Amino acid sequence: MKSWLIFIFCLMTVVILSTQSSRKDIDSSEEMRKNESRLDSIWRKEDIWNTSCTGTDKSRQNELPEKTDSKAIRAFEETNDTLVDRNDETTEDSVSVVSQPVTMVLKPIVRDIPSGLPIDADSLSMYTEYDSYPVSVNEVKLYITNHTEREFEGGEEYSLVYYNEVNREWELQPTAPIINSVLWLFSPGRATHSQTIRFYMDKNRPGKYRIYKSFNHDTGTAYAEFELVSEM
């Protein structure tokens, strides 16, 4: 009898313990469901808030920045490269302008013999300081004298020619690249004016030379003859 009572007691104890354990499991599962429900509601509220503030779904929010950032970075890099290329071109152009200044080189000018009528040497004479010069000379001095009672007008412009004995002709020679635009007045009564004539030939040749000038608005022409001789 006692053993039977003990068995019943033990059985009831096991049933009670199992019942309590199952209740705890049920309570625990219900608590977990409640927590999950709370978290779900919180996430939903947060999604609604993000959507209302940004206009984008939170589930897509993680994808958009990557695409947008890649496009933005690519556009920025292309723009930056373009700006760098343009800056390089501008810098190169600026440096080329500065490093290559414009320089003017004046070259001697070959001038034709004036076409005016020859002036008699008794009226207006032209002559050099000496009849002959060494071939190494760089310039000669020209004198102009008015022997009449009337006035002559002239200027700095002149022509230089060399007599080629082989071809038997006068050849034009280079003259000063710059001529001052001035008017000279040769008064009556043996008024004399002087002018320095420089040579611009690459190499002086021995022989006869003439200096031509025009007067009275190119209506009259006079010349002075001299000779360059080889040095002994």
146: domain CATH number?
2.60.40.2550
Q: With a threshold of 0.75, does the pTM exceed it? A: no
For residue 122, being part of any structural domain is answered with yes
Same domain, 202 and 113: yes
R_g of the chain computed on alpha carbons: 57
Same domain, 120 and 222: yes
pLDDT at residue 62 above 60? Answer: no
Of 88, 103, 118, the last residue of a domain is 103
Give the model's pLDDT for residue 190: 86
pLDDT at residue 229 above 70? Answer: yes
For residue 175, being part of any structural domain is answered with yes
CA distances from 1 to 4, 7, 14 (A): 5, 10, 20
pLDDT at residue 122 above 70? Answer: yes
Same domain, 170 and 221: yes
Give the model's pLDDT for residue 201: 93
214 phi/psi in degrees, rounded to 5: -105, 155
For residue 14, being part of any structural domain is answered with no
Same domain, 50 and 146: no
Question: What is the number of domains present in the chain?
Answer: 2
For residue 149, being part of any structural domain is answered with yes
pLDDT at residue 78 above 90? Answer: no
pLDDT at residue 59 above 50? Answer: no
**Which whole number is the average pLDDT over 104-133?**
94
CA distances from 42 to 30, 54, 58, 62, 204 (A): 18, 18, 13, 19, 108
Same domain, 121 and 200: yes
Per-residue model confidence as pLDDT tens digits over 159-184: 999 999 999 999 999 999 999 999 99
Per-residue model confidence as pLDDT tens digits over 20-50: 555 555 555 666 676 666 656 655 655 545 5
Same domain, 79 and 130: no
Of 50, 78, 103, the last residue of a domain is 103
- Give residue 64's pLDDT band: very low, low, confident or very high (50, 70, 90): very low
Per-residue model confidence as pLDDT tens digits over 85-99: 555 555 555 545 556
For residue 5, being part of any structural domain is answered with no
- Give residue 80's pLDDT band: very low, low, confident or very high (50, 70, 90): low
CA distances from 53 to 43, 57, 60, 62 (A): 15, 10, 14, 16
210 sits in which H/E element: strand 207-215
For residue 205, being part of any structural domain is answered with yes
Same domain, 99 and 138: no
Instruction: Provide the domain limits for residue 197.
Output: 109-229
Of 71, 103, 135, the last residue of a domain is 103
Same domain, 97 and 116: no
Same domain, 74 and 57: yes
